[in-house]
């Protein structure tokens, strides 16, 4: 997105590390005497997955904020004024005027988000490399390992084509569900 995944992964590694000393998260829990919450965040499959999810959300917020801000700027001022003159205020103004006008931007953001989630690779490689065990291995990491670690290029290419078709299917599904017949 806007910040490189490797840089964000280094930040999150320092936040959630357990050895040789506590990272920031465990230090805060320790200082607050919440010792039961101190754990090896990246050393357990359940917590490592959620750290990766948190990292990707934090990393992507800037990108989506710029997209949504651009959509909000594009809302015509005269339409907002007309709605206010008609009595629209607060949530009514947002729900009945603004959201329908930025609907294409919202749909694009949903499609980008879902496809980005399906294709996550560098975050996992930089933070856990699919571990511990295979608990954070994604389809793209499996594809990479199959093709380049096990030299099964055909199988890796097949996974890539499947991923492409799956992303296309998700995109078409979201577009179809969001399509509004007038």
Q: What is the pTM of this model?
A: 0.87
Q: What is the DSSP letter of 86?
A: T
Q: CA–CA separation, 180 vs 22, rounded Å?
A: 52
Residue 41 has pLDDT above 90, yes or no: yes
Residue 182 has what pLDDT? Answer: 40
Q: Specify the CATH number for the domain of residue 159.
A: 1.10.3720.10
Residue 20 has what pLDDT? Answer: 63
Which pair of structure tokens corresponds to residue 124? 């996992």
Averaged over 122-131, what is the pLDDT?
94
Residue 154 has pLDDT above 70, yes or no: yes
Distances (CA, A) of 15 to 7, 10, 33, 39: 13, 9, 18, 12
Average per-residue pLDDT for the chain: 93
Q: Which residues of 87-110 are buried (b: 16+ CB within 10 A; e: fewer)?
A: ebeeeebeeebbeeebeebebbbb
Q: CA–CA separation, 43 vs 39, rounded Å?
A: 8
Residue 113 has pLDDT above 70, yes or no: yes
Helix or strand (DSSP H, E) at 160: helix 153-178
How many domains are contained in the chain?
A: 1
Q: CA–CA separation, 140 vs 144, rounded Å?
A: 6
| pLDDT above 90 coverage of the chain, percent | 89
Please, what sign has the CA dihedral across residues 32, 44, 150, 163? negative
pLDDT digits (tens, 9 = 90+) for 45-78: 999 999 999 999 999 999 999 999 999 999 999 9
Domain of 121? 5-178
Confidence of residue 81 (pLDDT cuts 50, 70, 90): very high
């Amino acid at each position: 997105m806007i910040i490189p995944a490797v840089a964000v992964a280094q930040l999150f590694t320092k936040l959630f590390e357990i050895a040789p000393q506590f990272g920031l998260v465990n230090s805060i829990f320790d200082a607050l005497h919440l010792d039961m919450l101190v754990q090896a965040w990246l050393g357990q499959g359940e917590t490592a997955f959620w750290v990766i999810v948190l990292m990707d959300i934090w990393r992507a917020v800037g990108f989506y904020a710029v997209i949504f801000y651009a959509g909000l700027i594009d809302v015509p001022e005269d339409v907002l004024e007309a709605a206010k003159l008609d009595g629209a205020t607060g949530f009514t103004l947002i729900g009945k005027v603004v959201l329908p006008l930025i609907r294409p931007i919202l749909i694009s953001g949903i499609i980008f988000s879902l496809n980005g989630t399906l294709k996550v690779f560098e975050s996992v490689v930089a933070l856990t490399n699919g571990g511990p065990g295979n608990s954070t291995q994604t389809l793209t990491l499996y594809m990479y390992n199959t093709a380049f670690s096990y030299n099964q290029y055909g199988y890796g290419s097949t996974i890539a084509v499947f991923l492409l078709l799956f992303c296309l299917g998700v995109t078409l599904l979201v577009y179809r569900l969001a399509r509004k017949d007038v």
